[in-house]
Amino acid sequence: MSLPPLELPRVIGHRGAATYAPENTLASLREARARGATWVEFDVKLSGDGVPLLMHDDSLKRTAGLDRLASDTPWGEIGGLDAGAWKAPRFAGLRVPSFAEAIACLGEEGLGANVEIKPSPGREAETARATVDMLRARWPAHLPTPLLSSFQDASLAAALAAAPEYPRAILIEELKDDWRARAEAVDAVGVNTNGKKLSRARAGEIKAAGYLLSVYTINDASLARDLMTIGVDCVITDTPDVILAALGT
Ligand code: G3P
Ligand code: MG
């Protein structure tokens, strides 16, 4: 690891504050801040014409109501879709934000970010490059350096090649013995994993090796406390207010 250790908060809002507002919208980012989070996690992928935007699924259907792939649809169409109505009628009219719009929102709210690079299949390197290009162009100087993460090692490798100054975390649903080789291959400073599948032994191994350890998606107060006792540094949660209260932060 060549980068200095990153100062992660103990709690990060997942997709903003996904329990309370439509995930990956500006309203969700703001909701996380209003509920006490100082950082948020969100997912970045590309439109058909290469614009980075906030979206979890490959398809636009679940959260934006259009039965098409994001990677087949130009930003001009995606940006006009309703990203709130699926959650509750009161959220109707919210839009799918571009990554540039999200960064501006973070600047206004004073929020740090774990930027998850979530490429559509086949666009792993391209998505990573677009993400770090946008960070270099727009990331506010008053915010802490963001943490990049991805389930796709190819995205992290591309981020490392294009912009090594942004710290990286490998993102693995269930850690296997190869986790350290994967982390070293992309010069990661952190390991992000499913907290419900993390053993005490594995957590100890990761911490002994000097990595930051973050877990998702933990909405249960007592589980969050237990995870902290085995060495977890940061809990990514849909309910940041609940977890902040549970951890006494
Ligand atoms: O980055 C943590 C978490 O968001 C990873 O899973 O599927 O919610 O993006 P997912
Ligand atoms: Mg995510």
Average pLDDT, the chain: 97
Pick from 149, 152, 216 the residue to mutate for probing ligand 1's pocket: most ligand atoms within 8 Å of its CB: 216
Nearest residue (by CA) to ligand 1, atom 5, is 216
Active site residue 142: no
Tokens of 183: 């982390």
Q: Position of tokens 């419900």?
A: 196
pLDDT at 29 over 60: yes
Task: Output the pTM of the full model.
Answer: 0.97
pLDDT at 159 over 70: yes
- Rounded to whole angstroms, how far apart are CA atoms 163 and 224? 33
Selecting among 12, 13, 14, 227, the annotated active-site residue is: 14
DSSP state of 119: P
Task: Dump pLDDT digits (tens) for 90-105.
Answer: 999 999 999 999 999 9
With a 6 A CB cut-off, is 41 part of the ligand 1 pocket?
A: yes
